[in-house]
Amino acid sequence: MDLGLAGRRALVTASSGGIGAAVAGRLAAEGCAVLVHGRDGPRATAVADGIRASGGEAEVVLGDLTGDEAAAEVAERASEWRVDVLVNNAGPFVEHDWDTAEPSDWLDAMNGNVVSAVRLIRVLAPPMRERGWGRIINVGSRAATTPLPNMVDYSAAKAAVVNLTTGLARHLAGSGVTANTVSPGVIVTAGMRRMFEDRAAAEGRPASWDELEPQILAEYAPNPSGRLGTEDDIAAAAAFLASPLAGYINGIDLRVDGGITSVA
**Which sequence positions are flagged as catalytic?**
154
Q: Count the Cβ atoms, other than its own, within 10 Å of residue 199.
A: 13
C-beta separation of 212 from 42 below 8 A: no
Of 6, 135, 9, the closest CA to residue 79 belongs to 9
The DSSP symbol for 258 reads T
Q: From CA 20, how far away is CA 2, in angstroms rounded?
A: 21
Exposure of 230 in the CB half-sphere (CA atoms within 13 A)? 6
C-alpha distances (whole Å) from 152 to each of 100, 122, 145, 249 are 10, 27, 12, 30
Which of 11, 136, 158 lies closest to 71, judged by CA? 11
Name, in order, each residue with C-beta under 8 angstroms of 99's C-beta and a sequence gap of 6 or more: none
204 Cβ contact partners less than 8 Å away, ≥ 6 residues apart: none
- Residue 139 Cα to chain centre, angstroms: 4
